[in-house]
Amino acid sequence: MINENKTKVFLVDDDALFLKLLEIELLEFDEFYVETYATGELCLQNLVHQPDLIFLDYNLNDNIEGKLNGLDTLIKIKAFNPNIPVVILSAQNNIEVAINCMHHKASDYVVKSEIAFNRLKNVVLSILAYQKFEKQLSFKA
């Protein structure tokens, strides 16, 4: 049973090992409920579960014809609900790619590296603090 007070996080990556490692890292925090998906299509089918945050691989299924890549998945997520924060994960340390993702309304861009997990934890905490702040403002308005 899902605790409604937990933050629901979607992890979307076709690298099964990275996906599992990221899931383990996030589950160390009691406040997260995690759903994992290996394709953009599966992520999109499950957006009805109303994630609070999505981590999305930029190079998702790049070598599989007919499958959505990370950028296409980001665009479709934002069309479904522009308020879902999406953090792009990529092995590319390329500023043009990062800028393109931000142009398509990604909340952040994190390079997969040995310090990526620490960076992701900081990103999560920042996004959650911002969401809490927005909720407090909406109650006052």
- Per-residue pLDDT of 11-44, as tens digits, reads 999 989 988 988 988 888 778 899 999 999 999 9
pLDDT tier for residue 71 given thresholds of 50, 70 and 90: very high
Topology adopted by domain 7-140: Rossmann fold (3.40.50)
Task: State mean pLDDT over 57-80.
Answer: 89
Burial of 12 from C-beta contacts in 10 A (0-12 / 13-18 / 19+) = buried
What is the SS3 assignment for the chain? CCCCCCEEEEEECCCHHHHHHHHHHHHCCCCEEEEEECCHHHHHHCHHHCCCEEEEECCCCCCCCCCCCHHHHHHHHHHHCCCCCEEEEECCCCHHHHHHHHHCCCCEEEECCCCHHHHHHHHHHHHHHHHHHHHHHHHHC
In angstroms, the CA 105 to CA 112 distance is: 20
CB 121 within 8 A of CB 25: yes
In angstroms, the CA 99 to CA 114 distance is: 22
For the chain, how big is the Rg over CA atoms in Å?
A: 15
Q: How many other CB atoms sit within 10 Å of the CB of residue 57?
A: 25
Q: What is the structure's pLDDT at 138?
A: 66
Reported pTM: 0.84
pLDDT tier for residue 2 given thresholds of 50, 70 and 90: low
Structural domain spans, the chain:
7-140
Q: What is the structure's pLDDT at 132?
A: 74
